Structure formats: structure tokens, C-alpha cells
Amino acid sequence: MSRVLFANFIRFVVLVFIQAFLLKNVTVYDLAVPYPYILFVMLLPFETPNIVLFPLAFLMGLSIDAFYDTPGLHAAATVLLAMVRVLFISITVQKDSFDNEPEPTLGSMGFRWFFTYSAILTLVHHFFLFNLEVFRLSEMEYTLSRFLMSSVFTILLMLITGLLFFRKKRA
């Protein structure tokens, strides 16, 4: 239990730092901006109760907001992400089928599941984020292309991170 807490705390700090000091300066062709900090919410253990999950998502979003000067923007998107996570997991994962795999990582769930999971969650998060940031229909074309390119970038980064920390399922 304390190991899980510790791991998630480290993950929180590391992701905020990487996002605020490294990836904030990264843009590809003025279009793709990666936001892999949402990995924190996505990798929380399956058994995380909702009453903990949502405040954590909110806190993560707010921390990013503090560095990005956009109070509430990332928080709103990340809370929505948490909601989609709850729905997705309740549909695709049977609670009884696993007993020693508490986290939805690439190693424990397999590539297909993890790819679908990260893709759907990232698309929802980025779509909401970019549209809320611009909040104008007249710029739809740019917003949509930014949303798509950024999503591809983010998913790529998250899969690479997943492979980097790959741990095979114990038989």
C-alpha cells in the first residue's frame, strides 16, 4: 500500500516537472503540443475509490495550470478525463479477473488494451482542452488540426514511456 502511494507521489512530481520545464518549450510546426502529464491519472491503480480519484485529477490539473498561467483549464480537462477513465474501466475490465495486477500499465494489460485506453482518454482530454482554451467556433479548423496532431504526439510519448517502464506480467 505504502509502496503504491510512494510510486504515485513520485510519478506526480516527475510528470509535473517534465511538463512544466521541458515539454512547455516543445512545439512541432506551431501545431503539436504534448501533454503527457495525464499519464498520472491514467496509471492510478484500478481500486482507487472515486472520492480519491477525482480530487487527485483536479489537483494534477491545477498544478499544471499554476505553471501554465491558465487556472482551471487543465483542471477541467483532467477531471473530465477521470470521468472517462471510470466509464472505460467499468466497461472493459472485470473486477474479479485479476488479483495481483492493481495498475493499468502496458505490462499488465497488454498492448491492445493499453493503446485503446490511452488513445480514447487522450482524444477526449485534448479535444476538451483545446476547444475550451480557444472557445471560438470561427477558429475550428486550426483547433481541430492542433487537437489531432497534439493527440498523436501525446499518445506516442505515453506509449514510449510505457515501454520504457515495461514490466512483464507475473505468471
Please report, as ranges, the residues that interact with other proteins according to CB under 8 A: 20-21, 24-25, 27, 30, 33, 50-51, 53-55, 57-58, 61-62, 65-73, 75-76, 79-80, 82-83, 86-87, 132-134, 136, 138-139, 142, 146
Alpha helices in 70-110 (DSSP H): 73-92, 106-109
CB nearer to other proteins: pick between 21 and 166 = 21
CB nearer to other proteins: pick between 7 and 52 = 52
Closest separation between CB of residue 69 and other proteins, Å?
A: 4
Closest separation between CB of residue 155 and other proteins, Å?
A: 19
DSSP lists the bridge partners of residue 28 as 32
The Cβ of residue 159 has, within 10 Å, a number of other Cβ atoms equal to: 16
Q: Which of 36, 63, 19, 11 is nearest to 126 (CA)?
A: 36
Closest separation between CB of residue 119 and other proteins, Å?
A: 21
C-alpha 47/C-alpha 165 separation (Å) is: 21
Closest separation between CB of residue 65 and other proteins, Å?
A: 6
C-alpha 121/C-alpha 18 separation (Å) is: 20
